[in-house]
Amino acid sequence: MQNIFQGIFKGKKVFVTGHTGFKGSWLASWLIQLGAEVKGYSIDIPTEPSHFSFLKLENHMIDSRGDIKDLENLKKEIQSFSPEFIFHMAAMPIVNDCLERPRDAFETNLMGSVNILEAVKHTSSVKVVLMITSDKCYENVEWEYGYRETDRLGGKDPYSASKACAEIAIHAYYETYLKNSSVKIASVRAGNVIGGGDWARDRIVADLVRAWSNSGTLQMKNPHSTRPWQHVLEPLSGYLNLAMQMSLGKDALDGEAFNLGPNSDVIKSVEDLVLESLKTWKGQEYKATAKPTGHESRLLKLSCDKALARLGWTPVLNFSETIEMTIQWYKNYYEKSVSTQQTHADIKRYVELAVERGLPWAK
């Protein structure tokens, strides 16, 4: 396992913000398996249950608590660790939370990103920085083809707008302060990530498992909305692949933005996802709500041609594999009280499939 990504993370110090969240805990777990020395920085554990707590990651990494909006404390935590890599994932990730607390959304998603960039300016050990934003940073007019990295940024709601603002700030810091420095930086845009261990509010898979684990009926919102569903390991492999290539000196990647999304056959409706889930978790019930709810757009696609051309990155899993791996994780959790080895087994299986399918980073 430690030899994939050319073994670049073995023995390296890696700083991860948002490590207690769903994506952050999967990334931290994978980095630990890759032999990295990991330090996390998060304000709290955002859900109960929690993937981070389930894995007992605090026993395998440096677990630091702090607010991403607190610049001085953030600088202290980064500088005392002297990392070579930074993955910035801390955010307000839930659209409805941002609707309810728009000021917090902008302060966290925009100024939190600015604070990371400020800290990087003053930490000489840092070589590679990945700023994780969202596919919702684009001005979404719901056209049928995928958004490219050069398309207009924007947002009609606080979450989307705050992510677009973060992208603008990242570009400004790169052009003004980091372009001619020893630090390599890039932003990555992905969304609608699913996988075991997500219990956040207003997410379809989390709503599904909460209902079905209690023999309840899933109240399905917006059944006809389509999304580029992808297993959490897909964008994470993209992050690690990009960080590896930047570390190896591919300057053409510096200052760039990359979309990381699934193949077109994985862009399915919410109802498609639920029906596919029933193939693994049989005998469960669901129904659609009478009217669509929420503020998310009905159609959103990404073009990932740039990631393929520049990084050699493509998704590993098809739609059926994505849903099966996700739902099986929860079935094992609720029915078998499965050990933490389930997450490790999913990473191992994902890497094996990547090797089988010829992904360059897995060689």
Domains and CATH numbers, the chain: 10-362 (3.40.50.720)
Tell me the two tokens of residue 62. 């440096």
The pair phi, psi for residue 269, each rounded to 5°, is -80, 165
Q: Which residues contact 70 (CB under 8 A, 6 or more apart)?
A: 115
Q: Which residues of the chain have pLDDT under 70?
A: 1, 290-299, 337-340
The pLDDT assigned to 294 comes to 52
The pLDDT assigned to 295 comes to 52
Residues 346, 233 contacting (CB under 8 angstroms): yes
The pLDDT assigned to 18 comes to 98
pTM for this entry: 0.95
Tell me the two tokens of residue 130. 């990945």
* 338 CB neighbour count, 10 Å cutoff: 18
Residue with token string 């998310």: 296
The pair phi, psi for residue 28, each rounded to 5°, is -60, -40
C-alpha distances in angstroms, 105 versus 51, 82, 95, 118, 273? 23, 29, 9, 19, 28
Q: How far apart are CA 85 and CA 121, in angstroms?
A: 14
